[in-house]
């Protein structure tokens, strides 16, 4: 097992992991991001995200994708967007190793918080996070507006 920083040439494998996660989360058709998007957005002069990848026998079988946010209460934070391990490798310790790398990155960067979202029905993930010492906030809800929602909102203002 090898955990390392992701590279531009890893993005095809990263996209496959993202698609596998979407299927696991019962949203197999929700992924619209492309390899070109990932290559551009993660490896331009000001990257929008960073990755760690997990390799076994030269194959990428897991990844953690994160980016920096700014909290008005805490300052600089890391948002862990996704931590994914292929189904066949779950339970092997790869998820823990990727999670550990994210926490090490946060410590190295001096962030005041690492945060992420987890689905309320994903009890293995919830159990894992709580056992690690993470606090799962039950009183905060995630709010989002997709592209259609943005367009509709702005159209109503005209």
How many C-beta atoms lie closer than 10 Å to residue 37's C-beta? 13
Which residues sit opposite 64 in a β-bridge?
A: 52, 83
Catalytic residues: 129
For residue 74, the SS3 value is: coil
Distance CA 151, CA 145 (A): 10
First to last CA, the chain: 55
Residue with tokens 């159209």: 155
Distance CA 153, CA 144 (A): 13
């Amino acid at each position: 097992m090898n955990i390392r920083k992701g590279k531009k040439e890893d993005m095809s494998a990263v996209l496959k992991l993202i698609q596998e996660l979407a299927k696991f989360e019962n949203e197999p058709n929700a992924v619209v991001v492309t390899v070109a998007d990932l290559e551009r957005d993660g490896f331009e002069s000001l990257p929008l995200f960073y990755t760690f990848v997990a390799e076994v026998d030269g194959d990428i079988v897991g990844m953690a994708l994160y980016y920096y946010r700014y909290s008005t209460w805490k300052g600089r934070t890391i948002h862990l967007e996704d931590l994914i391990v292929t189904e066949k490798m779950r339970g092997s310790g790869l998820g823990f190793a990727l999670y550990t790398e994210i926490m090490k990155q946060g410590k190295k960067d001096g962030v005041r918080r690492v945060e992420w979202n987890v689905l309320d029905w994903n009890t293995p993930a919830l159990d894992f996070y709580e056992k690690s010492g993470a606090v799962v906030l039950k009183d905060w809800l995630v709010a989002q507006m997709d592209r259609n929602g943005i367009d509709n909102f702005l159209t109503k203002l005209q």
